[in-house]
Structure formats: C-alpha cells, structure tokens
Amino acid sequence: MATPLTADALVRALHAEGVTVREHSGWRTHNRNHKGAWGPVHGVMLHHTAGTDSLRLCREGTAVLPGPLCIGLVTKDGTVHLLGFGRTNHAGAGSAAVLAAVTAERTPPPPPGPDAVDGNARFYGFEIENLGNGRDPYPAPQLAAVERLSAALCRAHGWGGASVVGHREWTRRKIDPTFSMTRMRARVDSRLAAEPAGASPPPVPSHEPFPGAAFFVPGRRSELITAVGERLVAEGCGRYAVGPGPVWGRADVLSYAAWQRRLGYTGAAADGVPGRASWDRLRVPRTGRGAAA
C-alpha cells in the first residue's frame, strides 16, 4: 500500500529504468479523480487494448467508458505514451481476495473471486497495444517496455514483481493481457534484482534484504529473527511476554501482524507473515549473517 507517486516522480522513475517515454499534452491532469478515490495504490495492472487506433481510444475512451483508460499506452515499438495520470478507467471492479494477495505480495494471485473492489482507485493502469486475438504478436521491444515500466513503479514503491497483475487475474470478466503474467513477474523481479539502467553502483545496503515469506516457519532459529523482534518492539508493535528471541513463534507472528496493521494492511494481508513491502519498511539492521545465521 502506498501513496501514489506524483507525475514528476513517475517520469523520473521511468527514465531511470531506461523506458522510452512520450508525454502527450495535458496528460498530467487528465484523469477520473472527480469520480472517486485515487490511492492508496497497491500495484500495477496490465491490459491489452484489443483494438486499433489505440492512442485515441486510451486517451478519450468511449461514450460508455470515458477516458483516460490508462496512465500509459505501450505501443509495439516499445514507447510508453503517457496519456493520463491518476484514477483512470482501466480496472473496474474486481476481486477482494486478489487485492489482499497483491497487497501481501503473494504470488501467483488466487483465481479472482466476485467483483467487489474498485480497482481504478488501487492500481496504476497500463494498456498494451495488441488485438488480443492470440495471433497478434507482442514484439520484444514492447514486452521489454512493459517489464521496465512495471519495474520502475515497483522500485519506486519498494514492491516486488508480485505487485504486478493482469486484468484477467483481477476479474472473471476479462481475458487481458494474453501473455504469461507469471513470466512477466519473473522478468520484473530479475530487473529489480539489478540496478536501474544508467544508475551508479549501489551503496552497500544497510538493512537486511527480505529473506522470503517461506523463511518464517514456526521453530526457525536465526539471529535475524531476534533482529526482527527488536525492530518490532522499537516500533511499539512488540507482543512478547518474554523475548524477542531467535526462534520464530506465536509472539513474533502477533507482533508482525501489529506492524502490518500499522502500515494499513487488514484481514489476510495482516496475518503476521512478513511480505516484501512490509519488510522493506521495517528496515531490519544488518545482523552481519543474514537469514543464514
């Protein structure tokens, strides 16, 4: 969960990731914010246009679905055309279970449940020019641009590739986009593991990287778990009668759930199992030995 970037910050993030950007006139203030909430945002949603004259369609929409239909359109040459900014008519209503999974960065998301949540408020929407008939190709430069723009937003927000979803994963009503979202998320994750194009060498990170949700099984013993508990206590989220200590247990789960609730997660997204986004915000100092300790 995050406050949406500003338009300027979005452009900076796209450039830093090596995206070819074309800014169309008025895009920064072209949105549907007068029709409902914009943010907090939880991820990036990808679509295909399923039609021709995509630029005009995405900017203006139709009589029944007014534009903008997305923040940006990725054309076949790999250019990201910025057409709107803010709430756009791209996602419509979708699955609460999928939103919870994306928020907690559990991947792949579950099959979509009934339409229940306003996705236009919760996702950055991007359209990808394609007829969507299963025969129209997605050229390599176009998929590379999708990877880069998704990584740009994930990097800016401290998200992983699990925060990127396809429209068809959001609602049973849709089939777009017609490429593998699992593969696209893997591409985004590999890009995130490297530095953005053109960036200078990174400083040595001062905080422990996310060891993965699977690390946190009951009975796991690690110096890192003590460090997590100490941070939770420092944040006022400690729920320990004794400790914290090196063995992952019930009190750690309760404490971590308190931290997730502090960040605004609810329900299944505040289950006490660390996810990448909440982990990155906890900023656990280096133990020197990491998860292997």
What is the contact surface with Zn ion in residues (CB under 5 A)? 47, 167, 176
Task: Using the minimum distance from each CB to Zn ion, give the nearer residue, 167 or 276.
Answer: 167
In the complex, minimum distance from the CB of residue 167 to Zn ion, in angstroms, rounded to a whole number: 3
Nearer to Zn ion, 167 or 231 (CB): 167
Whether the Cβ atoms of residue 70 and residue 47 lie closer than 8 Å to each other: yes
At closest approach, how far in Å is the CB of 161 from Zn ion?
A: 19
Least distance from Zn ion to the Cβ atom of residue 181, Å: 12
Residue closer to Zn ion, measured from CB, 70 or 225: 70
In whole angstroms, the minimum distance from the beta carbon of 174 to Zn ion comes to: 5
Nearest CB to Zn ion, comparing residues 132 and 246: 132
Burial environment of residue 34 by CB neighbours within 10 A (0 to 12, 13 to 18, 19 or more): exposed
Q: Which residues contact 67 (CB under 8 A, 6 or more apart)?
A: 30, 57, 58, 59, 60, 61, 83, 84, 88, 89
Q: In what order do the strands lie in the sheet with 79-82?
A: 20-23, 79-82, 72-74, 123-128, 43-48, 164-166
What DSSP element (H or E) covers 81?
A: strand 79-82
- Give the CA count within 13 Å in the CB-facing half-sphere of 115: 12
Residues near 229 by beta carbon (within 8 Å), at least 6 away in sequence: 238, 240, 243, 244, 245, 251, 252, 255
Between 90 and 155, name the residue whose CB sits nearer to Zn ion: 90
Minimum CB separation of residue 176 from Zn ion in Å reads: 4
**How far is the C-alpha of 275 from the C-alpha of 233, rounded, in Å?**
18
Helices then strands, counting H and E runs in the chain, come out as 9, 8
- The four Cα atoms 74, 111, 280, 158 give a dihedral, to 10 degrees, of 10
Please report how close the Cβ of residue 204 comes to Zn ion at its closest, in angstroms: 41
Taking the least distance from each CB to Zn ion, the nearer of 182 and 266 is: 182
CB of 111 to Zn ion, least distance (A): 17
Residue closer to Zn ion (CB basis): 115 or 230: 115
Backbone φ and ψ for 98, nearest 5 degrees, come out as: -70, -40
Residue 123 or 248 with smaller CB distance to Zn ion:
123
Across 56-69, b (16+ Cβ under 10 Å) vs e yields ebbbebeeeeebbb
CB of 180 to Zn ion, least distance (A): 16
Three-class DSSP category at 224: helix
